[in-house]
Amino acid sequence: MHPTNIAMISDFFHPNVGGVENHIYMLSSYLIRRGHKVIVITHSHPPDRVGVRWLLPCLKVYYIPFPAIASSATLPNFFTFMPYFRNIVLREHISLIHAHASLSSLGHEGILHAHLFGIRTVFTDHSLFGFADAASILTNKLLAGTLRNVDAVICVSHTGRENTVLRGELYHQVGDDPKSIMVNDNVYVIPNTLVADQFQPDPDFVEPPGQITIVVLARLAYRKGIDLLVATAPRICEAFPQVKFRIGGDGPKLIELLQMREKYRLQDRIELLGPVRPTDVRSVLTKGSIFMNTSLTESFGIAMLEAACAGLYVVSTRVGGVPEILPQDMISFANPDADDVFRAIEEAVKIVSMGRHDPLRAHARVKSFYDWGAVTERTERVYDSVLKSESRSLQERMHRTMQLGLFAGPIYTTILIVECIFFLFLEHFWPREDIDYVTQHWDDRNLTKFDSGQADYMPSVAEAQDTSRPA
Amino acid sequence: MSGVEWEKALWKPLPFPDNYIPREAFLSSLRTNPNFQPYTYWTLVRLSGAITQHLATLFTFLAVYVLLKEGLLDSRLLIWVSIACFILGFAVWTALDCTIRAQVDHRARLVKATKSSILLFLALMSLSPVLGTLTAATSSDSIWALSAFLFFLNVILADYSARQPGLHVQERLTSVLSMNAAISSSVVLASRLSDDLSVFALILFAVQLFALFPLLRHRLQASQAAVQYLLTVSISILSLLLTISISHTVTTIFAAALLSVSFVAPGVLIWAQRFKNEIRGPWDVAVPKIN
């Protein structure tokens, strides 16, 4: 694929920490290694993280001065991002934007505006949503409006794809029956992945004879199924005197865990580690044999993958995309039910104590399954097909937008028209000649010349540093 | 490509493009309307009884207010009726208690109820001169609008659910708000009355209807269907009889409202049920089962 100028747009990015943030960073750095030019556009984090910054390896980040309203997401307002967006994509000569996360309004706005500049769009959805409550109905309609004219959508699991397709109305009718629907051709499944080398099992770690450590590493919140953990941990401790728990993470359910530990006098059996930094995840994981996950919903389940990669046997609830990520012999499934979780743990304890699970072999297998290089290549293929496809005319866009629904259709069409007028207004009052175009970009070769010692630099979020170099 | 089956697995390298999915595999785990329960008409009619009863008490109150204001009803009579209602209601309440459990100290409860009712009685009586002149400076039009709004709030927020006997349930905020709206509305209406005794009588009656009757209604709702029907029909007829002496137009409107809530609305709900399309799949947040 030809080197392309790509802009990643999302509300969620460094300095925040999380699955989406890490995904964007890793994908960008691998795309840079493959010769593309990548920039990231996100909202600022005052007072320190404002303006234009560079992250290693030569990833330029634009921090737009928008305030975050809740959980680091900005307010969806359809137009205010346009002046910034126009300036950035023009000066950086962007030809493709890749928006991430369905609750990121910056990403949505980028997709809506991109056609004015002849830029193609790709969207990645990272999470699962329901359909029943009022908040879902509203956000799903917003998503459907945005994805009406997107060029390609990437989902992280097959379950995620079914969910996104239904939420974003990315299907077409097959035959005469309106119930018989099929997914559009531009919806792809590319799994999330991890850097296997960062999760090496500890070869020196041997459990003391007759002891099995169960590791739990999660945000201690309802959605992570901490209620199930609270209900089953005392039973597990009673049934298996050799089992110890190491629980890492922080959240609203911490108190319930503490109360449970107090009530059953399990202070010497259950160790609570508190919040764990991303850099310490491996060291926590490699001090155990079984990883327990009780999530009630999970789009992909990267935590389980990291644990399996670090050589742990995984026990998980059968929810969302979790059943797709690992082969049957590396993971035990349970229904979200206290009795069944207990049964699955029993099974796992048996497998581990009989020595039927080899950590080093598990690591090698996960390493062969998941690799950022392969994921980047698959993403590139999506970009390539998007760039080669025919783009939609404004008339076609309006026609498609009108089909959104009785109310949403006219509203989104109005937004589309006002957006075009706003664009013409900007073109007139801030002519393109006045934009300060980027002429030189830092790339790998440039950097290698600068410091040859860094040539084999292995990117990772933990080690990302800022160089406050002006753009 | 032949020979290799497509699988819903992310870890396995499969020789298919990333946007490929076999027809039959797409949405194979989707379930629509898993907990679908078709309603039956007469069950809905019975359940709508609570709303009909509430509306009927409201109409009764309004009719009584107009009669009182026009001087067609003696305020002393209303006070006696209120007291009689209270005693009757308390008797029914105690009888209901007896049917479920015997170990309630009836004597202590009786003493407590008498004490608090006398206290409320006296407090209302001493406050009625104040309440009667409370909104003297406000025009009557504003009062009608305000009370209409408050009664509307009362109807919207009221708790129409049945209460299982013996189970102590925390009052919901909306039902408390609903009761407050009704009482405030009666207070502002009462302030339009001419003498203190009528003010007292009306507010006492409002307390019976909007604070105490809903409590009894929740209990009765859980009892037999016959009781439910009898109560609904009798209150509806009472409210219509009281209204008919005032205005025939209003009576027609009230009757239409009561009939549509009891008989038309359930039919509309059953008709609307055919459009129900609930989508369930593996992406839903699971409900943990903890014993």
- In a mutagenesis test of the B interface, which of A162, A296, A316 is the best target, namely the one with the most B β-carbons within 10 Å? A162
Under 8 Å between Cβ of A285 and A247: no
- Joined together, the tokens standing for residue A435 give 């934009």
CA A90 to chain centre: 27
Tell me which chain A residues have a C-beta less than 8 angstroms from the C-beta of B290: 227-228, 231, 338
Same domain, B95 and B208: yes
Among A23, A29, A39, A281, which residue's Cα sits nearest to residue A156? A23
- A326 touches B at CB < 8 Å: yes
Decide if A158 and B21 are in contact by the 8 Å CB cutoff: yes
Decide if A186 and B9 are in contact by the 8 Å CB cutoff: no
- In a mutagenesis test of the B interface, which of A123, A156, A189 is the best target, namely the one with the most B β-carbons within 10 Å? A189
Under 8 Å between Cβ of B54 and B209: no
A416-432 in b/e burial notation, b at 16+ Cβ within 10 A?
beebeebbeebeeeeee
- Residue A436: phi and psi, rounded to 5, are -85, 95
CA A41 to chain centre: 16
Tell me which chain B residues have a C-beta less than 8 angstroms from the C-beta of A163: 281, 283
End-to-end CA distance of chain A: 27
Is B229 within a domain?
Answer: yes
Q: Give residues 139 to 158 of A whose Cβ lies within 8 Å of B.
A: 157-158
Please give, rounded to a whole number of angstroms, the shortest distance from the CA of B271 to a CA of chain A: 21
- A256 touches B at CB < 8 Å: no
Give the chain A residue nearest B17 (alpha carbons): A188
Is B123 within a domain?
Answer: yes
Is B195 within a domain?
Answer: yes
pLDDT digits (tens, 9 = 90+) for B203-241: 999 999 999 898 888 888 877 888 888 999 999 999 999
Q: In the block, which residue shows the tokens 């993971």?
A: A331
> What mean pLDDT comes out for the span B80-93?
91
Same domain, B65 and B89: yes
- Joined together, the tokens standing for residue A121 give 């769009």
Tell me which chain B residues have a C-beta less than 8 angstroms from the C-beta of A162: 26-27, 29-30, 281-283
For chain B, the DSSP string reads -TTPPP-S-SSS--SS-TT---TTTTTTT-EESTT-----HHHHHHHTHHHHHHHHHHHHHHHHHHHHHTT-S-HHHHHHHHHHHHHHHHHHHHHHHHHH-S---HHHHHHHHHHHHHHHHHHHHHHHHHHHTTTTTS-HHHHHHHHHHHHHHHHHH-------TT---PPPHHHHHHHHHHHHHHHHHHTTSSSHHHHHHHHHHHIIIIIIHHHHHHHHHTS-HHHHHHHHHHHHHHHHHHHHTT-HHHHHHHHHHHHIIIIIHHHHHHHHGGG---EE-TTSPPPPB--
Same domain, B235 and B214: no
Q: Give residues 4 to 23 of B whose Cβ lies within 8 Å of A.
A: 8-12, 18-19, 21, 23
Tell me which chain A residues have a C-beta less than 8 angstroms from the C-beta of B9: 324, 327
Same domain, B142 and B231: no
Decide if A163 and B18 are in contact by the 8 Å CB cutoff: no
Under 8 Å between Cβ of B286 and A319: yes
Give the chain A residue nearest B8 (alpha carbons): A324
Which residues, other chains included, contact A433 with Cβ-Cβ below 8 Å and sequence gap of 6+?
none
Asked which of B222, B238, B254 is the last residue of a domain, the reply is B222
Is B181 within a domain?
Answer: yes
How many domains in chain B?
2
* Res A443: pLDDT: 66
Averaged pLDDT in 10-residue chunks for chain A of 471 residues = 91 87 92 91 90 88 90 86 94 94 91 94 91 87 92 92 90 80 89 90 83 91 91 92 91 92 92 89 91 91 91 92 89 92 93 88 91 92 93 93 92 94 95 88 65 47 41 38
In order of start, what are the domains of chain A with their CATH numbers? Answer: 5-193+373-454 (3.40.50.2000), 196-369 (3.40.50.2000)
- B284 touches A at CB < 8 Å: yes
Same domain, B139 and B195: yes
Same domain, B218 and B246: no
**A331-334 and A313-317 strand pairing:** parallel
User: What is the Cα–Cα distance from A128 to A140, expressed in whole angstroms?
Assistant: 11
Q: Which residue has the higher pLDDT, A462 or B272?
A: B272
Is B276 within a domain?
Answer: no
Same domain, B184 and B230: no
Same domain, B89 and B134: yes
Q: In the block, which residue shows the tokens 């002849």?
A: A118
Helices B75-100 and B196-206: crossing angle in degrees, nearest 10, is 20
CA B194 to chain centre: 31
Is B100 within a domain?
Answer: yes
Among A221, A457, A462, A213, which residue's Cα sits nearest to residue A348? A213
Same domain, B187 and B254: no
CB atoms within 10 A of CB A142: 19
Cα A79 to Cα A7, A139, A250, A420: the distances in Å are: 19, 18, 37, 10
Under 8 Å between Cβ of B19 and B233: no
Which residues, other chains included, contact A147 with Cβ-Cβ below 8 Å and sequence gap of 6+?
A111, A123, A153, A168, A169, A170
Residue type at A85 in one-letter notation: F
Decide if A130 and B283 are in contact by the 8 Å CB cutoff: yes
Decide if B282 and A319 are in contact by the 8 Å CB cutoff: yes
* Res A70: pLDDT: 81
Please give, rounded to a whole number of angstroms, the shortest distance from the CA of A80 to a CA of chain B: 33
* Res A458: pLDDT: 45
Is B252 within a domain?
Answer: yes
Decide if A320 and B287 are in contact by the 8 Å CB cutoff: no
- A314 touches B at CB < 8 Å: no
* Res A467: pLDDT: 42
Q: Give residues 395 to 454 of A whose Cβ lies within 8 Å of B.
A: none
Nearest to A183 among B21, B286, B291 (CB): B21
* Res A444: pLDDT: 62
Residues facing B33 on adjacent strands: none
- In a mutagenesis test of the A interface, which of B18, B20, B27 is the best target, namely the one with the most A β-carbons within 10 Å? B18
Same domain, B183 and B238: no
Same domain, B77 and B144: yes
* Res A468: pLDDT: 39
Which residues, other chains included, contact A239 with Cβ-Cβ below 8 Å and sequence gap of 6+?
A342, A346
- A260 touches B at CB < 8 Å: no
- Joined together, the tokens standing for residue B99 give 């049917």
**Helix (H) and strand (E) counts in chain A:** 16, 19
Domain containing B69 equals 58-158+171-222
Q: pLDDT category, B108, cuts 50, 70, 90? A: confident
> What mean pLDDT comes out for the span B12-27?
83
What interface predicted TM-score (ipTM) does this complex get?
0.73
CA A454 to chain centre: 28
Helices B49-69 and B225-244: crossing angle in degrees, nearest 10, is 30
Tell me which chain A residues have a C-beta less than 8 angstroms from the C-beta of B286: 225, 296-297, 317, 319, 336
Tell me which chain A residues have a C-beta less than 8 angstroms from the C-beta of B36: none
Is B102 within a domain?
Answer: yes
- Joined together, the tokens standing for residue B31 give 């379930």
Same domain, B183 and B233: no
Decide if B290 and A338 are in contact by the 8 Å CB cutoff: yes
- In a mutagenesis test of the B interface, which of A122, A158, A366 is the best target, namely the one with the most B β-carbons within 10 Å? A158
Three-class SS of A335-362: CCEHHHHHHHHHHHHHHHHCCCCCHHHH
Three-class SS of B163-210: CCCCCCCCCCHHHHHHHHHHHHHHHHHHCCCCCHHHHHHHHHHHHHHH
User: What is the Cα–Cα distance from A219 to A42, expressed in whole angstroms?
Assistant: 24
- A339 touches B at CB < 8 Å: yes
Tally C-beta pairs within 8 A across A and B: 106
Nearest to B288 among A225, A323, A369 (CB): A225
Under 8 Å between Cβ of A19 and A455: no
